[in-house]
A and B are shown apart, each in its own frame.
Chain A
Amino acid sequence: MSNERIVGIDLGTTNSLVAHMEGERPVVIPGEDGSNLLPSVVALDENGQIVVGNPARKYLIETPEHAVYSVKRLMGRGVEDIQDELKLFPFRLADDLAPGEVLRIKLGDKTFTPPEISAFILRQLKRNAERYFGAPVTKAVITVPAYFNDAQRQATKDAGRIAGLEVLRLVNEPTAASLAYGLDKQQNGTVAVYDLGGGTFDISILKLHEGIFEVIATNGDTHLGGDDIDNLLIAIALDDIHGDLGVDVRRNAEIVQAIRKAVIEAKIALSSNDATTLDVELPPGRRYQREITRQQFEQLIQPIIERTVGPVKQALKDADLKPKDMDEAVLVGGSTRIPRVRLLVEELFQRMPHSDLNPDEVVALGAAVQANILSGGSEATKEMLLLDVTPLSLGIESLGGGVVRIIHRNSTIPASANEHFTTGVEGQTNVAIHVVQGERELAKDCRSLARFDLKGIPPMPAGLPRIEVKFLIDANGILHVSARELRSGKEAEIEVQPSYGLTDEQVENMILESFDYAEEDFRQRQVIEARNEAETMLAALEKGRNNPAWEQLSSQEQTDINKLEAALRAVMKEADYQAIRSAIDVLNQATMHLAELMMDSAVSSALKGKDMATADVGEGPASPHPIAQAEIK
């Protein structure tokens, strides 16, 4: 592996970030607009081009059916799972969706699967990183909620692939946060990470010891976050408007989005003020205003925050620890800025929680640390190692519909289990295994992970074959299955039908389709290359200035060169690669004489007998400039 940098990415419900290790500390890579946070909003503009982040937010309000947000809530899920989401979020599903098919969402007149939408966000982050480094980025560590199941993890990996990123590792968000925290504090102890984001809640209990971050237990709720708080306030506003003004604006997507924007602003304001006003313009020319006090807000959101208590208690129970056994409680996720949430964490763990690391950035920073560890580690990280767990028990559906648990929740991963099966019918050559995830006793109440068809079993009397199936949960928390018939020693062929996922073929197609959106990537690559060349040019010019040949130029020539150098420096800051290239050309022309002078002295001293025609003067911007080559010693 080369020096290619591996980045850490937080693919969040509300915001996404990319970060990397710079020396001893992780650092977030900003976007072109200088902002560290990229809103996880994707829109289709008037020209059918994809827009991501802040620019996409205006589409959310003006043309909501051309935009989508919080797509993380749909990753790895089927239509049956998202009925609640459909009631609360303006997701528009494709009309021709067949049951059991992967979800597709409408954006204008196009449809995309959730991994494709996430891929647009990842692609933007990839561009930001490439711009920052001036070099390609193809490898990343991406974070997922600890409580994400296999299908949700697989969908995240697929999104990475579609975006042109090799996902080296999926890291659980609270674990990533603990890495950033651990690197910062350098202390041993037991830590509880309370992560309340836009759409998911995770609680993880970890033991930090001499650089080892061992997760003891984890729990959470993948349908719980800041979005739910927003939706509560939106519902109240809609009711108010209906009641006071007699207008039902529920169906008006633009107004609902405007209300949502106001609600979010109010929510944020209430973290530092005791009261605020919800203020929404209702076309044509009316206004909805309502004062909310912090007290009212806290009463309203209590049931939502209450939902985090159950998972916390369960995690502590699984860890066989009491709140007082924690040395620290760490807050992660934007929603932990709400004073009432902080108070709850303080009550739950009987101590003041830590929030000195930015709760919006800490996960991305931790991902960057993990990326560093994976690439071989550095001085800062060489003693660090993450030992994470699988959050959900893995089981096989047994005859009768029960579940036989083969890998228990909170097992350190990688983890494996071997199970033995046999056939029920004479000559049976296939065995079907239904794998589920969850803690319930009946398979139908658990999450269907996949159906595995073991094929190619040598025909034998019923009950005779001994099929050993090995289940392996890898370091990403994703399941792999292999099988062997022990009597014949034959490897069984396994056909996997993921319950909510994309097949390899589908992902391949999406990667191909995504090249249509790579136009932007191409443009950016041109800009990077042009800038690199400009740098080379300018460095050579510096050497030229220090060369005695410089004094031989007329003052007019010197002035011209200086002016053009300044112009090149200025245009390099823009993203117009053609303008950069012309500026390079023009400067090149202006420094021809200088180059000849330098060449002459070099030639006369080192290349005696050759003339200008044979000296390599170069042919234009694409080939090395003579000044750059005047390094003949």
Chain B
Amino acid sequence: MPQTQDKSAKDSGIFVVSHGKPAQANCWSCGAMRAAHFCQQCGKVQPPVPADYFAFFGLPYKLNLEPARLEREFYDLSRHLHPDINAIKSEREQEWALEQSSHLNDAYRTLKDPITRTEYLLRLQGVQLEEQSKAATEEARRTGKLKKQVVPPDLLEEVFELNMQLEEMRMNKKMGESDRNLERQLEDAKKHLQAKYDGMMQALSGAWGEWDALVDRAERGETVLEEDRLAARDKMVEVLNRRNYLRNLLRDIDEVLGG
């Protein structure tokens, strides 16, 4: 009988909750128990330790977060870690401040935006999103190679049709011809796809909810099945890939219509 993957996700450390609890080390300056980045007692900046962006802010690995709270935390950490505040400190404190604050800024920038936050968490989970980027598209076009791309199955027919229309439009432009009918068709397709694209954020929000619910369960000490974790994770991957794909299609249409 095949072994079902009954392993608790908690064991794999995925849902490890980190709330920036102090490590077992003392502040180099006043000896007080060391906080993550700066000493809570004396305020001195501490040497950087490797930490992912969520851990840096002492946040759980959940996708929903309060932007206002994140901003407040960002401002507060900046006041302690920024090189300007540490400009007259020792050289090593200045180096730490530079590294800490660049890490802080990178973390804030990534977590602040819902898409990059999701992408980042997925990366932590070992997922590399498909080569949907514009750069990859350009590269493929230039070298003639096929780029790694998966068409969302429900869009297959629509995409096939659209690609034909785009090709025809490009030919027309090369010849200097114009086809009002074709243009209108493309404009309609654009409206349709735009609506689908606009609906993506809501879909993502739904996927977030599923993931966060699992994290909550792990925090409470409940068992979370590996297959559930993977399902929630893959849902987010699917939404992001779909979103990227739609965005590229819209870009292609704009390019052709924009002249």
Chain A contacts to B: CB under 8 angstroms? 1, 168-169, 209-210, 212, 370, 373-376, 385-387, 400, 402, 404, 411-417, 441, 472-475
Is B165 positioned at the interface, with any CB of A under 8 Å from its CB? no
Known contacts A385-B85, A387-B78, A400-B142; 14 additional CB pairs below 8 A are: A1-B88, A212-B79, A370-B84, A373-B85, A374-B87, A385-B79, A386-B84, A402-B138, A411-B109, A413-B105, A414-B83, A414-B105, A415-B102, A475-B84
Q: With the chains together, A475 CA to B84 CA distance in Å?
A: 8
| Contacting residues, chain B, for A472 (C-beta < 8 A) | 98, 102
| Contacting residues, chain A, for B102 (C-beta < 8 A) | 413-416, 472-473
Consensus secondary structure, chain B interface: helix
Q: Is the CB of B105 within 8 A of A375?
A: no
Q: With the chains together, A169 CA to B109 CA distance in Å?
A: 23
Question: Within B80-134, which residues are at the interface with A (CB < 8 Å)?
Answer: 82-85, 87-88, 98, 101-103, 105-106, 108-109
Q: With the chains together, A373 CA to B83 CA distance in Å?
A: 11
Closest to B143 in A: A400
| Contacting residues, chain B, for A411 (C-beta < 8 A) | 105, 109
Q: With the chains together, A209 CA to B79 CA distance in Å?
A: 13
Q: Is the CB of A169 within 8 A of B87?
A: yes
| Contacting residues, chain A, for B73 (C-beta < 8 A) | none
Q: With the chains together, A413 CA to B75 CA distance in Å?
A: 14
Q: Is the CB of A373 within 8 A of B84?
A: yes
| Contacting residues, chain A, for B135 (C-beta < 8 A) | 402, 404
Closest to B76 in A: A212
Q: With the chains together, A84 CA to B83 CA distance in Å?
A: 38
Q: With the chains together, A402 CA to B142 CA distance in Å?
A: 11
Closest to B98 in A: A414
Q: Is the CB of B105 within 8 A of A168?
A: no
Q: With the chains together, A473 CA to B101 CA distance in Å?
A: 11
Is B219 positioned at the interface, with any CB of A under 8 Å from its CB? no
Q: Is the CB of B138 within 8 A of A376?
A: no
Q: Is the CB of A400 within 8 A of B82?
A: no
Interface-centre pick from B78, B87, B105, B142 (highest chain A CB count, 10 A):
B87
Q: Is the CB of B82 within 8 A of A375?
A: no
Q: With the chains together, A168 CA to B139 CA distance in Å?
A: 43
Instruction: Give how many B residues have a beta carbon under 8 Å from the other chain's beta carbons.
Output: 21
Q: Is the CB of A402 within 8 A of B88?
A: no
8 interchain pairs, CB-CB under 8 A: A169-B84, A374-B84, A385-B78, A400-B142, A402-B138, A414-B83, A414-B105, A416-B106
| Contacting residues, chain B, for A415 (C-beta < 8 A) | 102, 105-106, 109
| Contacting residues, chain B, for A209 (C-beta < 8 A) | 75
B47-91 vs A, CB cutoff 8 Å, 1 = contact: the mask equals 000000000000000000000000000010011001111011000
CB distance from B10 to the nearest CB of A (A): 30
| Contacting residues, chain A, for B109 (C-beta < 8 A) | 411-412, 415
Q: Is the CB of B105 within 8 A of A412?
A: yes
CB distance from A479 to the nearest CB of B (A): 12
| Contacting residues, chain B, for A373 (C-beta < 8 A) | 84-85
CB distance from A321 to the nearest CB of B (A): 15
| Contacting residues, chain B, for A414 (C-beta < 8 A) | 83, 98, 101-102, 105
Q: With the chains together, A370 CA to B84 CA distance in Å?
A: 9
10 nearest CB pairs, A to B: A414-B102, A374-B87, A416-B102, A412-B105, A475-B83, A1-B88, A414-B101, A212-B75, A415-B105, A376-B88
| Contacting residues, chain B, for A404 (C-beta < 8 A) | 135
Q: With the chains together, A210 CA to B78 CA distance in Å?
A: 13
Q: Is the CB of A402 within 8 A of B139?
A: yes
Closest to B108 in A: A412
Answer whether A475 and B98 are a contact pair too, CB < 8 Å, given A1-B88, A375-B88, A385-B85: yes
Q: Is the CB of B83 within 8 A of A416?
A: no
Q: Is the CB of A375 within 8 A of B78?
A: no
CB distance from A212 to the nearest CB of B (A): 5
CB distance from A438 to the nearest CB of B (A): 15
Q: Is the CB of A400 within 8 A of B139?
A: yes
Closest to B86 in A: A374
| Contacting residues, chain A, for B82 (C-beta < 8 A) | 385, 387, 475
CB distance from A468 to the nearest CB of B (A): 13
Q: With the chains together, A169 CA to B82 CA distance in Å?
A: 13
CB distance from A504 to the nearest CB of B (A): 19
CB distance from A472 to the nearest CB of B (A): 6
| Contacting residues, chain A, for B108 (C-beta < 8 A) | 412
Answer whether A474 and B83 are a contact pair too, CB < 8 Å, given A402-B139, A414-B101: yes
CB distance from A383 to the nearest CB of B (A): 8
Answer whether A168 and B87 are a contact pair too, CB < 8 Å, given A413-B105, A414-B101: yes
| Contacting residues, chain A, for B103 (C-beta < 8 A) | 416
Q: With the chains together, A606 CA to B144 CA distance in Å?
A: 101
| Contacting residues, chain B, for A387 (C-beta < 8 A) | 78, 82
CB distance from B108 to the nearest CB of A (A): 7
| Contacting residues, chain A, for B139 (C-beta < 8 A) | 400, 402
CB distance from A148 to the nearest CB of B (A): 19
Closest to B87 in A: A374
Closest to A374 in B: B87
